[in-house]
């Protein structure tokens, strides 16, 4: 591959508005457009104009406007914030329920330090998580951290004697670390009577059919959570498909693309119904589409099928 020197010069908001106009984009209010680009980097914004671009001509489809791009940007911003709010609730419940299940089953508040509870080839990963958590904990100046450090230690794992019970440490853990802990548990240890399993029961609390499916869902949630936390585009980005969700939809209303945000919104609806968090996901989505007509026009780019809200899954 031949490389070349990057020699593109800085362009002011005024220059960029003129550039977009030469590409056929209609700008209704040039001063407002320039002000917008002073606050939102053009490199960040231009991807919201791509749905209006005719790639074969390298110009915008006739009658496309700068304001439509802004609508998509604002739609994505509100959608991202709404999704992140739901994920935060799920995260808190996952931390709590995971600890309740494993701590009660093992009768050990320091269960996450007990290697016997984890898959053998995952212990190295768990030690990495423990080391990171130990660093967070030692640096923490929160009252709950200082209280434990000033008064206690544990006898469960000699390499991490300074660490507290999971219900304390979970306040400092990232979602990715909670995911690693959950996915590293040795499921066979949690087998109960009559072919039950405590980790499957935990999965049922979130609407998943078993431990494996919930692990898949958590991974999908982690990915979208990270995009939300870093203010990245979510509305028409490619996302990991959560297993077991597609077959719950009416065949008349299947996603236009299984790797877009629509299917993830369905996943959030399933979890919300099970946990009873009270989010009106259907109503909120419809409200956002009504507020931003450009998003409604391009809803297929986000995986939303025509009349998606008529699927019975949204009526439950």
- pLDDT-based confidence at residue 169 (cuts at 50, 70, 90): very high
Within 8 A by CB and 6+ apart from 9, the residues are: none
User: Could you tell me the pTM of the whole model?
Assistant: 0.94
> For residue 299, what pLDDT is reported?
97
Give kind and range of the element (H or E) at residue 54. Answer: strand 53-54
pLDDT digits (tens, 9 = 90+) for 90-99: 999 999 999 9
pLDDT digits (tens, 9 = 90+) for 205-258: 999 999 999 999 999 999 999 999 999 999 999 999 999 999 999 999 999 999
The pair of three-digit structure tokens given for residue 315, joined into one six-digit string: 């009526």
Give the percent of the chain with pLDDT over 70: 100
pLDDT at 1 over 80: no
The mean per-residue pLDDT over the stretch 160-180 comes to: 95
CB 256 within 8 A of CB 277: no
pLDDT at 301 over 90: yes
Closest of 100, 97, 122, 124 to residue 111, by C-alpha: 100
- pLDDT-based confidence at residue 58 (cuts at 50, 70, 90): confident
Give the percent of the chain with pLDDT over 90: 96
Partner residues linked to 185 by β-bridges: 118
pLDDT at 57 over 90: no
CA distance 300 to 104: 46
Mean pLDDT rounded to a whole number for the chain: 96
CA distance 108 to 76: 44
């Amino acid at each position: 591959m031949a490389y070349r020197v990057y020699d593109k010069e800085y362009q002011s908001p005024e220059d960029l508005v003129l550039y977009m106009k030469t590409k056929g984009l209609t700008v209704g209010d040039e001063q407002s457009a320039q002000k917008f680009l002073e606050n939102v980097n053009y490199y960040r914004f231009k991807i919201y104009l791509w749905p209006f671009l005719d790639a074969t001509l390298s110009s915008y489809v006739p009658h496309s406007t700068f304001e439509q791009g802004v609508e998509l940007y604002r739609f994505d911003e509100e959608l991202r914030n709404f999704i992140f709010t739901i994920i935060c609730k799920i995260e808190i419940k996952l931390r709590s329920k995971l600890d309740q299940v494993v701590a009660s089953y093992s009768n050990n508040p320091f269960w996450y330090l007990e290697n016997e509870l984890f898959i053998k080839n995952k212990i190295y990963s768990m030690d990495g998580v423990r080391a990171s958590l130990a660093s967070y904990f030692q640096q923490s100046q929160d009252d709950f951290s200082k209280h434990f450090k000033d008064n206690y230690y544990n006898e469960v794992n000699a390499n991490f004697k300074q660490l507290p019970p999971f219900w304390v440490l979970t306040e400092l853990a990232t979602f990715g670390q909670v995911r690693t802990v959950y996915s590293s548990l040795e499921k066979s240890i949690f087998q109960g009577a009559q072919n039950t399993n405590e980790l499957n029961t935990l999965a049922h609390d979130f609407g998943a059919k078993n431990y494996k499916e919930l692990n898949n869902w958590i991974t999908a949630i982690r990915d979208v959570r990270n995009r939300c936390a870093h203010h990245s585009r979510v509305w028409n980005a490619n996302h990991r498909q959560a297993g077991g969700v597609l077959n719950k939809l009416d065949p008349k209303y299947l996603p236009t693309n299984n790797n877009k945000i629509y299917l993830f919104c369905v996943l959030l609806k399933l979890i919300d119904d099970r946990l009873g968090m009270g989010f009106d996901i259907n109503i909120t989505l419809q409200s956002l589409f009504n507020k931003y007509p450009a998003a409604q026009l391009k809803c297929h780019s986000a995986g939303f099928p025509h009349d998606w809200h008529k699927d019975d899954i949204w009526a439950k």
